[in-house]
C-alpha cells in the first residue's frame, strides 16, 4: 500500500481549506406555506440579544454596514420566531466532524488523523454535543477508487468511536470537491455521465447503510452544488427519481433513518417532491445565507412546517452565519471564498452567538430531531482582525485559524462562542 507519511496529516494543518460551499442560487422570496404547528407552551422569546446586537467598537469600519445588515436580518427573523408556539423537545445538537471530512482525501489515512479525531471527539463530548455529521464524499468508497477499502475502514472506525461516546451520526454523501482549492483529491468528472454519477452515488450510499450503519443517512442535500462540481445537468425530477430508487434499496436492518433535502438557497423544485415521498424518514436542510429580511430563514421555517405536516422528521446537517449582504449575494453567492474568509475574525462572535441561538429556537419551534453547526473550529478559536495582515490569501488565513483551533482542541481551550454553545446545549429547556 502506498505510504502516506509525506501527505499532510490534516487539512487544517496543511493550510488547505478543503470545505467549500458552492451556493449558486439565492432567489427572491417565494410564497410560504403558513406555519401550522399545534399550540403547546407559551412562545419563547429570544433574549440573549436585543432587537439588534450593537456594533462593537471592535468591528472594523469596512464591516460595520454588513454587521448592521446581518443584525437587521436576524431581528426580522426573530420577530417571526417569537410569534410561534414553542416546542417541548430538544434535538440532538451536533457539529460537522471536520477532522473526518472526505475532502481531506489521503490525509485521512494517517495514524495521526485518527488520533486527532479521538481527541476532538472527547472534547466535543465534554462540551455536551450528542451528535456528529460525517461527510463521506463520492467517490471515496467506489471499489475502483484508490484506497477505497482503507477509507471504508477509516469511517467504520470513526463510527465506532462515536458509538463509544453515545453520539448519533448523520452521514452525508456528495461529490468531492475535486478540481477546486478545497481538496487535493483528483477526480475526472468528464468521465461521468448523469447516469453513471448517480449510479455510483447510489452504490456508495447503499454501502454506507450496510457497512458503516449511521443513525441518519442523507441521500442528497445540495443538488446544485453537486451539479456545479461535476459539470452535470441533473433536473429536480431526475434527483427525485434517484432518491425514490435509492430509498427502496436501502438496508434498514440496523435502524438507519433515510432522508434527503436541499440548501435553502437552492431551487425549491429540488425539495418540493420530497415531503410526501414514501419511505423517506426525514427532510434535511442546509442553512447558510439569510438574505434580505431573512427570506431564506423564513424558507427554512416553511420547509420544516411542511415536513412536520407530512409526518416526517426534520434535521439540519449544516448551518452557519453566511457573512454576505443581499447585494453581494446577487443571483448566486458572489465570491464564496471571500465570504468564508470573514468567518475567522473574532469581531463576528456576538453575531455568531445570536445566529446559533436563532437556529436553536427554530429547532425548538419545529420539533427538529437533529441539528448540526458547521464551523466547529470557531468553538475553539478566532483570529484578531487588528493583529494580522489584511492581505492574506484564503490559504494563509486558513492556516492561521487552523493552527489556532487545533492547538486549542489539543489543550482543552474554547473560544467565547464555544463557552456559549456549551452552556446552551447543556441547559434544560425553558
Distances (CA, A) of 222 to 57, 86, 372: 37, 29, 16
pLDDT (0 to 100) of residue 258:
98
pLDDT (0 to 100) of residue 338:
84
Low-confidence winner among 6-20, 257-271, 325-339, 396-410 (lowest mean pLDDT): 6-20
| pLDDT confidence band for 88 (50 / 70 / 90) | low
Residue ranges of the domains in the chain? Answer: 11-26+33-425
| Average pLDDT, integer, range 55-79 | 91
CA dist., res. 316 & res. 251, Å (int): 23
pLDDT (0 to 100) of residue 51:
52
| pLDDT confidence band for 179 (50 / 70 / 90) | confident
| Average pLDDT, integer, range 69-98 | 91
Residue 334, all three cell numbers: 458572489
Q: Which residue has the cell 477505497?
A: 148
Res. 12: pLDDT tops 60: no
Low-confidence winner among 11-25, 92-106, 240-254, 255-269 (lowest mean pLDDT): 11-25
Which residues touch 252 (CB under 8 Å, ≥6 apart)? 209, 258
CA 122 to centroid of chain Cα atoms: 20
CA dist., res. 244 & res. 47, Å (int): 42
| pLDDT confidence band for 85 (50 / 70 / 90) | confident
**What rounded mean pLDDT belongs to the chain?**
86
Return the CATH number of 11-26+33-425, one of 3.20.20.120, 3.40.140.10, 3.30.460.10, 3.30.420.10.
3.20.20.120
For residue range 358-369, list pLDDT tens digits in order.
999 999 999 999
Res. 23: pLDDT tops 80: no
pLDDT (0 to 100) of residue 267:
93
Question: Can you give the length of the chain in residues?
Answer: 430
Low-confidence winner among 49-58, 101-110, 377-386, 421-430 (lowest mean pLDDT): 49-58
CA dist., res. 322 & res. 414, Å (int): 22
Taking the CA of residue 138 as centre, how many other CA atoms within 13 Å lie in the half-sphere pointing to its CB?
24
* Burial class for 136, CB neighbours closer than 10 Å (0-12, 13-18, 19+): buried
Res. 7: pLDDT tops 90: no
pLDDT (0 to 100) of residue 66:
96
pLDDT (0 to 100) of residue 87:
75
pLDDT (0 to 100) of residue 41:
28
Amino acid at each position: 500500500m502506498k505510504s502516506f507519511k509525506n501527505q499532510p496529516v490534516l487539512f487544517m494543518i496543511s493550510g488547505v481549506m478543503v470545505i467549500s460551499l458552492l451556493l449558486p442560487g439565492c432567489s427572491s422570496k417565494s410564497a410560504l406555506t403558513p406555519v401550522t404547528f399545534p399550540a403547546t407552551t407559551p412562545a419563547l422569546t429570544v433574549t440573549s440579544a436585543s432587537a439588534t446586537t450593537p456594533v462593537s467598537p471592535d468591528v472594523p469600519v469596512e464591516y460595520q454596514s454588513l454587521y448592521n445588515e446581518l443584525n437587521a436580518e436576524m431581528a426580522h427573523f426573530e420577530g417571526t420566531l417569537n410569534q410561534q408556539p414553542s416546542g417541548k423537545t430538544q434535538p440532538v445538537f451536533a457539529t460537522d466532524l471536520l477532522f473526518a471530512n472526505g475532502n481531506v482525501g489521503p490525509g485521512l489515512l494517517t495514524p495521526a488523523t485518527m488520533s486527532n479525531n479521538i481527541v476532538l471527539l472527547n472534547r466535543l463530548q465534554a462540551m455536551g454535543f450528542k451528535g456528529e455529521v460525517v461527510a463521506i464524499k463520492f467517490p471515496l468508497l467506489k471499489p475502483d477508487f484508490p484506497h477505497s477499502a482503507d477509507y471504508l475502514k477509516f469511517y467504520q472506525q470513526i463510527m465506532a468511536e462515536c458509538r463509544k461516546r453515545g453520539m448519533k451520526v448523520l452521514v452525508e454523501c456528495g461529490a468531492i470537491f475535486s478540481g477546486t482549492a478545497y481538496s487535493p483529491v483528483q477526480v475526472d468528472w468528464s468521465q461521468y455521465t448523469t447516469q453513471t454519477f448517480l449510479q455510483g452515488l447510489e452504490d456508495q450510499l447503499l454501502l454506507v447503510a450496510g457497512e458503516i450503519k449511521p443513525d441518519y443517512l442523507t441521500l442528497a442535500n445540495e443538488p446544485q452544488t453537486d451539479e456545479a462540481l461535476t459539470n452535470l445537468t441533473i433536473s429536480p425530477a431526475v434527483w427525485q427519481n434517484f432518491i425514490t430508487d435509492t430509498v427502496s434499496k436501502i438496508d434498514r436492518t440496523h435502524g438507519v433513518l433515510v432522508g434527503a433535502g436541499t440548501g435553502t438557497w437552492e431551487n425549491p423544485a429540488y425539495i418540493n417532491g420530497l415531503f410526501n415521498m414514501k419511505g423517506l424518514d426525514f427532510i434535511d436542510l442546509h442553512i447558510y445565507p439569510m438574505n434580505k429580511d431573512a427570506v431564506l430563514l423564513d424558507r427554512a421555517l416553511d420547509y420544516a412546517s411542511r415536513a412536520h405536516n407530512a409526518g416526517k422528521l426534520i434535521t439540519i446537517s449544516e448551518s452557519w452565519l453566511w457573512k454576505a449582504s443581499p447585494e453581494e449575494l446577487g443571483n448566486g453567492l458572489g465570491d464564496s471564498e471571500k465570504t468564508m474568509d470573514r468567518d475567522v475574525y473574532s469581531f463576528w462572535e456576538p453575531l455568531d452567538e445570536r445566529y446559533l441561538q436563532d437556529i436553536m429556537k427554530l429547532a425548538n419551534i419545529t420539533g427538529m430531531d437533529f441539528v448540526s453547526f458547521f464551523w466547529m473550529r470557531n468553538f475553539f478559536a478566532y483570529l484578531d482582525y487588528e493583529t494580522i495582515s489584511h492581505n492574506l490569501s484564503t490559504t494563509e488565513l486558513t492556516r492561521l485559524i487552523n493552527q489556532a483551533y487545533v492547538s486549542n482542541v489539543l489543550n482543552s481551550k474554547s473560544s467565547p462562542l464555544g463557552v456559549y454553545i456549551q452552556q446552551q446545549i447543556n441547559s434544560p429547556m425553558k
